[in-house]
Amino acid sequence: MILLAAGMGIQLHLSGTGRYAIMLMLTVPRLQTPSVVAEHIISVVEEFSNKKPPQPLLISFNPEEVRSQAAASTKRFEEGNPLSILDGIFVAIKDDIDCFPHPSKGGTTWMHEVRTVKKDAVSVSRLRSCGVIFVGKANMHELGMGTTGNNSNYGLLTSVYVTSNSFPRYRVCNAIHLEPGWFKTARNPHAPERYTGGSSSGPAAIVASGLCSAALGTDGGGSIRIPSSLCGVVGLKTTYGRTDIGGSLCDAGTVEIIGPIASTVEDVMLVYSAILGTSRADRISLNPSPPSVPNLSFNDSLNSLGSLRLGKYTAWFNDVYSTDISDKCEDTLNLLSKLMMVEIVVPELHEMRTAHLVSIGSECLSSLNPYCEDGNGARLSYDTRTSMALFRSFSASDYVAAQCLRRRIMYYHMEIFKKVDVIVTPTTGMTAPIIPLSALKDGETDMRVTGYLMRFVIAGNLLGLPAISIPVGYDKQGFPIGLQLIGRPWGEASILRLALAIEELCAKSKKRPASFFDVVFKASIRYCKCFGARMIVGPLQISRLNAPGRGDVRQHVTSSFGCGAVVRGRASTVYRASR
């Protein structure tokens, strides 16, 4: 059985037992429809404003638009004509990617006044053609110019009182008066006093909190991988040119891509399969090699990865704020002992960071400067204005020099890839940092924090290499740690295959965030008996599908895509059983 994953024609093959499981689930009576799930999501979003602290995860949200999309999806399922395996799945879109009819503000309060959204971005259009339901535009660091995800433009605007009982994670005694802006910015679902990471703060937090199982973000300097690592989810930065950047605020640069954030590697692969490929409208088409995704076979094991060679630069690997990070990543690599580990040296790391800063700064300025005229620049937060001022100091000769460095550093990496297949590093040099009180009103510029968060992500953007962040555990304080895999150009299949194995090895350590919304099922564990099968549904995932009499048909289901699911090794859209 073959199911079409996306308009690009990526096919996912299902085995006989996979067909049985799918047909079994599709015939379950009293189904949980997309419309029912939509109502749960709408109620959760409305609940955000009443939480302490509130979670401004969505910048643009229209309940009626969500209901309309969900109703159309429900009708398709009732008629037996879903558009694809992604039909009925709820996805959030970062606020710098066009998703009609929502405005694209880029995290500002005014961008929609000078830039009108007339149609979907290419990637969004492809997801829409698969039947995806868009919940709205997700929060982000203003104009993407920050790695913490802090955005003081959105959130509670009035002064509030907080007690130690209502806000236990903070050390507050009795009642303390907090200034306006205290509850602004998206917050980490694992701890509300911590940053999500950025700039794709909202997408990562939405996925981690269970509101959606996938989101689209952009990554020009780690903006998908950093928040994915800090929030404990999976984030894929594709090869430059693999996905179409058209319809984003910075669609003319050479470092930024659009990519997926999701709760599992399989979920990332499905969304990636749907959005990959360039279009005629793409300003910079590289005519990439044909895309491929790993074979989603449940029988695949670590043995199938035996030929992969992993490269590790130990001195760089250990250059972290806390040894908890390097130790946990090292422990994960030890689980891959069957793979060859090669000690490498990555030359000119400082030069690489400088070349990237000049490249992304110059390109962002070129794309965004026209919108910042007529006094709009003064409406930006102080930290964004600081970044813009720095970028304006770069000259044309600086940009040319950066491209010369870029070519040289690419040569170094291509030499490394003659010896190894994948470079492994921690995703970030620190776990989620604390949000300073002073940063909530006007933002902040903390280069020390920025340096640690961006320490390992630059090569993927400057050189256009594919990279993925996978959660591998937690530090001693309980905050997520991500491991990064960097591949050769167009080598997404290799890093995804390895990521699948790592996810399997680390599955037992994964835990639910403190702030988690179960939009599909309210109970922790539910049982659904249908046609001799038992489905055990946990708060994070459908953990097991057991069909007696079919031999060993225990198929793990690791993601809750709204009203759909991904069977490990066998991708399919299935209805969720009702309560």
DSSP E strand stretches across 263-322: 309-312
Segment 68-74 long-range contacts (CB within 8 Å, at least 24 positions apart): 69/34, 69/38, 69/133, 69/134, 70/33, 70/34, 70/35, 70/37, 70/38, 70/133, 71/34, 71/35, 73/34, 73/35, 73/131, 73/133, 73/563, 74/33, 74/34, 74/35
Residue 531: how many other CB atoms lie within 10 Å: 10
Q: Please state, in angstroms and as integers, the Cα–Cα distance from residue 88 to each residue in 76, 102, 236, 280, following that order.
A: 9, 19, 22, 28
Chain centroid to CA 178: how far? 32
Q: Which two tokens stand for residue 345?
A: 């040296």
| Euclidean distance between CA atoms 214 and 562, whole angstroms | 9
Residues whose CB is less than 8 angstroms from the CB of residue 94 and which lie 6 or more positions away in sequence, other chains included? 137, 138, 140, 200, 202, 203, 215, 216, 217, 218
Residue 72: left (phi > 0), alpha (psi -120 to 50), or beta? alpha
Query: If we measure between CA atoms, which residue out of 94, 102, 108, 57 comes closest to residue 248?
Result: 94
Strand partners, 94: 138
Query: If we measure between CA atoms, which residue out of 500, 489, 497 comes closest to residue 466?
Result: 489
DSSP E strand stretches across 392-548: 422-426, 467-474, 480-487, 526-530, 533-537, 542-546
DSSP E strand stretches across 179-312: 214-219, 234-237, 257-262, 309-312
Residues designated catalytic = 94, 199, 223
| Euclidean distance between CA atoms 445 and 14, whole angstroms | 50
Name the burial class of residue 535, with classes exposed (0-12), middle (13-18) and buried (19+) by CB atoms within 10 angstroms of its CB.
buried
Residue 540: how many other CB atoms lie within 10 Å: 18
Query: If we measure between CA atoms, which residue out of 346, 352, 351 comes closest to residue 312?
Result: 346
- In this structure, the dihedral spanned by the alpha carbons of residues 141, 514, 519 and 260, taken in order and rounded to 10 degrees, is 40
